[in-house]
């Protein structure tokens, strides 16, 4: 029987009331903007597969800084596009590597900007895989030694946080030990704890020039059928000293975001990856959806699932939406 004294709609009767009783709150401080830094000069080019996102040479990063300031975004994660690649990805840990150049330039332009770096080798290896090859197989232990070396080189260049995305076993422990021994005990690690071998990465691989030259990455990135394995990966990263756990991708993996939040006490990040962004852009361009509304709704769904941090190509637009009160 309907109890007419219980009417949940009472709390939906006005915009002010709906905002007051919102269960999920967002803040611009919880957003991280991915940035592609390309070796060279005078490069400021829109990425065809990621409309609205750009390749920046270090001398053009002032454009990104100005845009970030304009929208109130103060956290970025850097990905590098080197001129030259080799079998072992040596440009990844070079003192004058492209990410290292990008860090120094951003800190010169905006010392207060929080700079996170993606720590991996796929953009730097001639074969496009995320580590050192032994035949056609990525050698885990040789790779984590290099991954740790890359993380230290980023910290020396001024990175505030490092984020290993290679999915090698034991890489968090190796990075933590290397950072501590180099004197960077206060540089946190945001681990790509559960990174799936996803088809949603296509636009990123185009943007970063990081598609594998042969095979795929399923021997190290996770099988997207598995959830218990993801929680095991998260638990191992907690034991090894991770400070933040990341789930990647985001929207098709909200169950993993929720489980991670429930099981672990560390902050949880989610990466709304290139394919998620590109699909919204393409559907909006075709006139099939309201881009702004879908952008807002998809972001809120990720936070509602339990994310504390969102890495998103929509960081600037979402920060504006939060200030307007459309979300947050």
Residues 70 and 81: their CA atoms lie apart, in Å, by 26
Q: State yes or no: is 156 an active-site residue.
A: no
293 Cβ neighbours under 8 A, 6+ residues apart:
none
Residues 79 and 48: their CA atoms lie apart, in Å, by 17
Q: Closest by alpha carbon to 163, among 110, 237, 213, 89?
A: 237
Residue 245 φ/ψ, nearest 5 degrees:
-105, 135
**Residue listed under structure tokens 């290896």:** 125
Task: Classify 29 in phi/psi space as left (phi over 0), alpha (psi -120 to 50) or beta.
Answer: alpha
Dump the DSSP string for 177-220: HHHHHTT-TT--BEEEEEEB--GGGHHHHHHHT---SSS-STTT
85 Cβ neighbours under 8 A, 6+ residues apart:
91, 123, 124, 125, 126
Q: Which two tokens stand for residue 202?
A: 């296509």
Q: State yes or no: is 195 an active-site residue.
A: yes
Q: How far apart are the first and last CA of the chain?
A: 36
As beta bridge partners, residue 96 has: none
Catalytic residue among 85, 105, 248, 261: 248
Do residues 243 and 220 lie in contact, with contact meaning Cβ atoms separated by under 8 Å?
Answer: no
Catalytic residue among 83, 85, 107, 195: 195
Task: Give the helix/strand (H/E) hosting 133.
Answer: strand 132-134
Do residues 37 and 78 lie in contact, with contact meaning Cβ atoms separated by under 8 Å?
Answer: yes
Do residues 257 and 250 lie in contact, with contact meaning Cβ atoms separated by under 8 Å?
Answer: yes
Q: Closest by alpha carbon to 99, among 116, 84, 87, 75?
A: 116
Active site residues: 195, 248
């Amino acid at each position: 029987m309907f109890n007419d004294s219980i009417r949940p709609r009472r709390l939906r009767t006005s915009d002010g009331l709906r905002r007051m009783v919102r269960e999920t709150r967002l803040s611009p401080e919880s957003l991280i903007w991915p940035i592609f830094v390309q070796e060279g000069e005078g490069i400021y080019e829109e990425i065809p597969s990621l409309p609205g996102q750009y390749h920046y040479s270090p001398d053009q990063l002032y454009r990104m800084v100005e845009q970030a300031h304009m929208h109130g975004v103060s956290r970025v994660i850097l990905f590098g596009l080197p001129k030259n690649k080799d079998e072992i990805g040596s440009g990844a840990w070079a003192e004058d590597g492209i990410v290292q150049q990008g860090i120094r330039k951003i800190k010169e332009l905006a010392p207060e900007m929080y700079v996170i770096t993606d720590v991996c080798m796929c953009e730097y290896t001639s074969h496009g895989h995320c580590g050192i090859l032994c035949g056609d197989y990525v050698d885990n232990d040789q790779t984590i030694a290099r991954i740790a070396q890359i993380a230290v080189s980023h910290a020396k260049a001024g990175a505030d946080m490092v984020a290993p995305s290679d999915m090698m076993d034991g890489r968090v422990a190796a990075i933590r030990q290397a950072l501590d021994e180099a004197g960077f005990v206060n540089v946190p690690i945001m681990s790509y704890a559960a990174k799936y071998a996803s088809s949603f990465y296509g636009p990123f691989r185009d943007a970063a020039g990081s598609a594998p030259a042969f095979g795929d990455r399923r021997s190290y990135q996770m099988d997207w059928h598995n959830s218990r394995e993801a929680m095991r990966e998260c638990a191992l990263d907690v034991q090894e000293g991770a400070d933040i756990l990341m789930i990647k991708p985001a929207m098709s993996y909200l169950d993993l975001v929720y489980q991670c939040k429930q099981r672990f006490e560390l902050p949880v990040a989610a990466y709304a990856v290139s394919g998620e962004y590109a699909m919204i852009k393409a559907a909006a361009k075709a006139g099939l959806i309201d881009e702004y509304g879908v952008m807002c709704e998809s972001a809120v769904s990720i936070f509602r699932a339990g994310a504390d941090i969102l890495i998103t190509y929509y960081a600037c637009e979402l920060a504006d939406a939060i200030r307007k009160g459309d979300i947050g």
